[in-house]
Amino acid sequence: MKGKLILGIIFIIVGAILIVIGPSAYAGIQKALKKGIDESLIINGYNDKGYLDWLSNGQESEPFFYRDFYLLNLTNADDVINGGDPIIQEIGPYSFHKIAEKIDVIFDGDIVSYKFFVHYHFLENLSTGSLNDTITSINMGYLGAINKAGNEQFLEIGFFSNYLAHLLNVLETSFVNDSVLPGSVPQTILTVFSFSFPDAFNSWVEGTPSFYNNLLPLSGNFSSEIPFSKGTQLFNPEASYSLVSSSFYLLWQQALIDPGTASFLQSYWGISSNAQSSISNWLNNWITTASPALLSQYYGVNQTNILAELSYLQWGQLKITTGASLHVLSPSDTPFYIEYAAFTKYVIGSPSTLDLNSTAKIFDSQTGFLNPVIFGGFLFALQSGATDFNSFGFKNPSDALKFYQYYQYVLQNTLLGTYNIGGGIFTTQKVGEYIFGYENPLLKLINPLSTKTSYFTNYTSPDEVRAKVLPESRNTGNSDISLVSKYVTYAGSKTVNIWKTVEYLEGTDGSQTAPRYNKNDPYTIFSETLLRNIHLKYDSDYEFNGIKLNKFLLDKKDFKNYTNNPENAKYYYDIDGVHNFTTLDVGGGTTGLPIFLTKPHFLDVDPSWSNRIKYITKDGQVQNGMNPSIELHDTFLSVEPNSGATMHAHQRVQFNIMLTPSLYLPHFNITENQLLPIYWIDEHSEISSGQASDFKSLVYGAKKAAIIIIAVLTPVGGILLIIGVILIVIIKKQKLNETELDEINVGH
């Protein structure tokens, strides 16, 4: 009986222990799991275990990110130019692996900052088509040029004013300074010496002041080593290395800085170094002083402004080339008749010249046509039927009209010519170049330093990123795990300042939120695509690769116009489902481009806009409007609730351009505002089956172990406790019975 009592007590003790240990073990496992998850999310230094994986989404332990491009090919560009409705056809997807690597990482307390080195790698096996496919669509370079100018006519006016300024610069440098002035040196020397060669030569070689009215004699008497016979050769244009040989005279100037050339000339002509040096210095002075003075006298121009005025004479009269155009003399350098006088003579067959004063007036940077406002005023005067154009430099209406024809001729051979080779409102390009950058003939013409148009930059090196990309910073979550991965700054700023009021950054980018969140609480992310905070709403639960996820959808109120949602007034939201991006700075302070973002295929967009587009379906039928589908075109984020990690997501957005009549006339007959879709992207990521298996082993395995422990230990402990109590009760009862029996026996 004593043994049974001890056993009962043991059962009670063990049972009680198991009952206590079960929940404690469960809580301990849960706490350890929580700690493990939090530690895996917090990257607080370069030596943290997960640091290298955190640096790049291209690491094997991270979900892969993909960006699929669906381009919307404009099949009837000519019809649209003439006022027709766009007919578009979707091509793609063109799928890329998007790798975003963090560089220049700096930890500062709970804040980590870095720059993203983003590069794309084409995945041919996941794509429908090749990057060499062609796409006809909007030319963003053209839109940028139009936007900067104000409208197409202003673009033409501004371009022509810049053209004249550039032309004058070319004439002054390449033509006058580099060609006319150097080329005239032998002739001016011969002209002076030909008056009386023996006397002129003797005065020159003796260095006497009587030389041609004191015009630059030699600095010394060298008659003993340069006799008259040698002098005749020095001034013979047919003689090699003479002072008037068009092929060799510059060697004398070069000898001033090149000892080898100096030594050669001394040897060739049999003269001393002093004589050679004196001749070289004389020729250099002649080139810089005497020759320009003589040329100015000959052409009747001001020597202090000789470069400009000789250019004026060539442009207005073809005087420097005696009636020939630079286009004829050098067609590779001047592919059309650049001079006004050449245009009237050779192009329209009605020769006309402009005198020096008229040309100087036209090329004046303030009061002439180099000022677009003045040139615009001239065009307005012509259109208004004016008859007096003296203030513009024209003595009669006929010359003014010919200049207008010259203006049209220049445009046709420059600006308007680019429209036919991909520089106009629509362009045809290879898909890969259209996405990541194509040579834009319009930009090449108007701004040779910035010739490419692109929608996305495929960076090639960290150094390129360092030069072009601003840093961003996030909270590490070290002090407060609920703040993990939340933005602190984006593009170097804590706010976005393109809206009516300041937008303060809220939330993360959607790839990570706080672990163990409440799915019914408000969920806000900052969208780098829309440059604003976006609200998400819980939709449903589902399993992906065996992991239970909470699915969140975009809150539709964020995409309502400001009448239906007054909060959207700050975002200029005029049309349901159409995100106004005209305030975006697309580079260099340029804003105002008619960029509008929507969901793909105009999902949730006001039908009065979306139905203006005609769409070619997969079976070749043309229909009004596109084919919006919630399943294919809406955005969703699916989050694992224990970790807060997004494990399945599709972020989809469509890029559109608003075509507006006032901007594109006169060459493009757009008759009404038209929202033209350009492309849409589906940026998606998902946890792989292997990654899911690892996650389930670690997280679900721990949870399962905790459940098993509490499910097994607590009941077992309870059973043992009950057994122990029963044993003790039985023993006590037996003892009581024995006591009662002893008392009965004593009584007998």
pLDDT tens figures, 570-613 = 999 899 999 998 877 655 555 568 899 999 999 999 998 888 89
Over residues 328-341, mean pLDDT:
93
Cβ count within 10 A of residue 285: 13
Q: Which residues pair with 690 in a beta bridge?
A: none
Q: Residue 407's Cα: distance from chain center in Å?
A: 33
Length of the chain measured in residues:
748
* Maximum Cα interatomic distance, the chain, rounded to a whole number of Å: 180
More confident residue, 198 or 703: 198
Between the alpha carbon of residue 706 and those of residues 24, 28, 129, the distances in Å are: 10, 9, 51
Rounded to an integer, what distance in angstroms lies between the CA atom of residue 288 and that of residue 404? 38
Mean pLDDT value across the chain:
86
Q: How far apart are CA 207 and CA 214, in angstroms?
A: 10
Residue 550 main-chain phi, psi, to 5 deg: -100, 125
Q: Which of the residue ranges 98-102, 319-323, 724-728 would you say has the lowest mean pLDDT?
A: 724-728
* Range of lowest pLDDT (49-63, 146-160, 546-560, 712-726): 712-726
pLDDT at residue 417 is higher than 90: no
User: What is the distance, to the nearest Å, from the Cα of residue 638 to the centroid of all Cα atoms in its chain?
Assistant: 31
For the chain, give the percent of residues with pLDDT over 90: 61
Q: Which tokens go with 564?
A: 């239906």
Q: How far apart are CA 312 and CA 76, in angstroms?
A: 46
Identify the pLDDT of residue 299. 93
* pLDDT bucket at 263, cuts 50 / 70 / 90: very high
Neighbours of 372 (CB within 10 A): 17
The predicted-structure confidence for 170-194, as pLDDT tens digits, reads as follows 999 999 999 999 999 999 888 888 7
Q: Is the pLDDT of residue 731 over 70?
A: no
438 near 132, Cβ under 8 Å? Answer: no
Q: What percent of the chain has pLDDT over 70?
A: 84
The H or E element containing residue 403 is helix 397-413
Average pLDDT for residues 239-257, to the nearest whole number?
92
- For the chain, how many helices (H) and strands (E)? 27, 21
With contact defined as beta carbons under 8 Å apart, do 688 and 631 qualify?
A: no
Residue burial 467-491, b: 16+ Cβ < 10 Å; e: rest: eebebbbbbbbbeebebbbbbbbbe
What gap in Å lies between CA 167 and CA 414, rounded to an integer? 13
Greatest mean pLDDT among 4-8, 442-446, 678-682, 730-734: 678-682
Q: Can you give the pLDDT at residue 424?
A: 84
pLDDT reported for residue 708: 53
pLDDT at residue 720, as a whole number: 45
Whether the per-residue pLDDT at 5 is higher than 50: the answer is no
- For residues 550 and 538, the answer to whether their CB atoms sit within 8 Å is yes
In Å, what is the CA distance from 293 to each residue of 181, 187, 257, 500, 512?
A: 11, 13, 25, 62, 77
Give 15's pLDDT tier (boundaries 50, 70, 90). very low
Q: What distance in Å separates the CA atoms of residue 265 and residue 243, rounded to the nearest whole number?
A: 11
Mean pLDDT in residue range 368-376:
95
Model confidence pLDDT, tens digit, residues 56-92: 887 555 557 899 999 999 999 988 888 888 999 999 9
Amino acid at 701: G
CA–CA gap between residue 485 and residue 443 (Å, rounded): 40
Residue 512 per-residue DSSP state: B
pLDDT in tens, 634-652: 999 999 999 999 999 999 9
Write down the pLDDT at residue 199: 79
Q: What type of residue sits at position 695?
A: F
pLDDT at 714: 54
430-468 tens-digit pLDDT: 999 999 988 888 878 877 666 677 888 899 999 999 999
Average pLDDT of 5-23?
51
Q: Give the highest mean pLDDT range of 13-27, 133-147, 661-675.
A: 133-147
Q: Say whether pLDDT at 743 is over 80.
A: no
Residue 480 token pair: 């407060």
Q: Which helix (H) or strand (E) holds 30?
A: helix 2-41
C-alpha–C-alpha distance, residues 392 and 531, integer Å: 49
Give pLDDT tens digits for 211-238: 555 566 778 888 888 998 898 899 999 9
